[in-house]
Structure 1
Amino acid sequence: MSKATLYEKTGKAGGEIELNDAVFGSRVNRHLLDFVVVRLGGNLRRGTHSTKTRGEVRGGGKKPWRQKGTGRARHGSRRSPIWRGGGTVFGPHPRSYYTRLSSGMKRSALISALSLKNKENNIVFLKDAALKEAKTKELFSILKMLKLVDTPTLFVVKSVDEKLKRASQNLHDTFSVKLASDVNAYHIVRRSKVLIEKNALATIERRALAVPEEAAPGKSSETEVRA
């Protein structure tokens, strides 16, 4: 078990928290991580892109001019791909980008993503994420104290209350909130920093190790900092 600093909302160290090395200190499988992240991103695509071929574009039924005698190149339709306004050749059509990934691959990628961020010192652990008001100002103040302002940050919490949901809506460009029960490698890799609430840590470790909730090993422990 390794230890990490647990921060208060004021930005000051509020103790230490134990991390499961099997989740936060594992070997990073970059090939698997890239494979899973690309496919998880593809699974989010709607695939509704569509272009029209020369047979689908309106018009073009009449031959522009006679075959011979005009001195111009021969053409049979104004909707040929070489004409302006003509059809598209080999253009995209609606399709599914979904790729099924096994549970083991997704768990291994999650462990690699967390281990990579931890080795880069890009994970911050927060003792408590409760807000007094549903105000962006209060949430922004917390991020400022933690030096996470203007840094693409993923906030992983055990549960999202209405206050946090409303307060984070104005920070959607650089700040996103995910449940510990839903977060995956794609969410983690997309952001520069990962902010994890203390109460969410046990859920993340349980999911990564595929351990039932009642038997989750290495439950987070906290050591208070005393002056």
Structure 2
Amino acid sequence: MVESVIKNWQGEEVGQKAFDLRSAKPETATHIVHRALVRQLNNARQGNASTKTRSEVRGGGRKPWRQKGTGRARAGSIRSPLWRGGGVIFGPKPRDFSIKMNRKERRLALRTALVNRLEDLIVVEEFNNELSRPKTKDLVAALVRWGAAPENKTLLILSEFPENVYLSARNIENLKLLAADQLNVFDLLHADKIIITTSALDKIQEVYNG
């Protein structure tokens, strides 16, 4: 069980929020988070790089010159890898880089990554009603009051995306919005500060503790 301070729209401490996320043992935490990160990065690769071998390059069906008597080296095709315009030796071919990982392990890695960022975690009250209309300036000021400087890479986790919040946040540099049920290890580790609403924290416990 972990307790965190709750801040309101003005940045004042208004209470405590207790939450329980089962994380990996200290001796295995680094390993499982690393596996999940490598899996995510590998699964994002397209794997569609492709080169042509000497049999796939157009042309080269005729022998350039006779085998003997010219004084030049033997040549059977102008599409040899030794020739300009020839095929590629051991070049990349389309492949699948994806790595499999059990769902329980993936969720354990997410919980572990989040719990290990407690020092940079900021819990705030719901602020949908504070933005009567889209206003980027107001949201930037609120982020500063909460402790996330503009130069910090900030991850804002919400249970849902109200239109005013989304429109206010989409043009803020170094800020990324993320739904509570779409967490990923890379964003949790990449951010300098993680701001999460109370409802999003409840949803995370509901989704990832199951």
- TM-score, normalized by length of structure 2? 0.83
Tell me, yes or no, if the aligned pair for 2:32 and 2:105 is still in contact at 8 Å.
yes
Q: Distance in 1 between matches of 2:8 and 2:187?
A: 24
The aligned runs of 1:86-97 (5 Å cut-off) are 86-97=86-97
Other-structure match for 1:141? 141
1:128 aligned to which of 105, 126, 129: 126
Q: Does 1:187 align with 2:210?
A: no
Q: Distance in 2 between matches of 1:139 and 1:86?
A: 58
- Identity among equivalent positions (%) equals 33
Amino acid at match of 1:35: R
1:85 shift after superposition? 2.9
- Which runs of no fewer than 5 residues in structure 2 stay unpaired? none
The aligned runs of 1:143-158 (5 Å cut-off) are 143-145=143-145, 146-158=147-159
1:29 shift after superposition? 0.8
Other-structure match for 1:4? 4
Q: Deviations over 1:170-202 (max 9, x none)?
A: 23x622211111213233123232211111111
Instruction: Provide the aligned length of Structure 1 versus Structure 2.
Output: 206
RMSD across aligned C-alpha pairs, in angstroms?
2.5
The aligned runs of 1:169-184 (5 Å cut-off) are 169-171=170-172, 174-184=174-184
Tell me, yes or no, if the aligned pair for 1:4 and 1:16 is still in contact at 8 Å.
yes
The aligned runs of 1:1-227 (5 Å cut-off) are 1-20=1-20, 22=22, 27=26, 29-118=29-118, 121-130=119-128, 131-145=131-145, 146-171=147-172, 174-210=174-210
- TM-score, normalized by length of structure 1? 0.78
Q: Distance in 2 between matches of 1:65 and 1:115?
A: 70
Q: Deviations over 1:93-152 (max 9, x none)?
A: 22222333212101210121012111xx12111212423322333332322333331222
Deviating above 6 A after TM superposition, structure 1's stretches of 4 or more consecutive aligned residues are none
CA spacing shift, 1:21–1:95, aligned 2, 3 Å: closer
- Which runs of no fewer than 5 residues in structure 1 stay unpaired? 211-227
Amino acid at match of 1:125: V
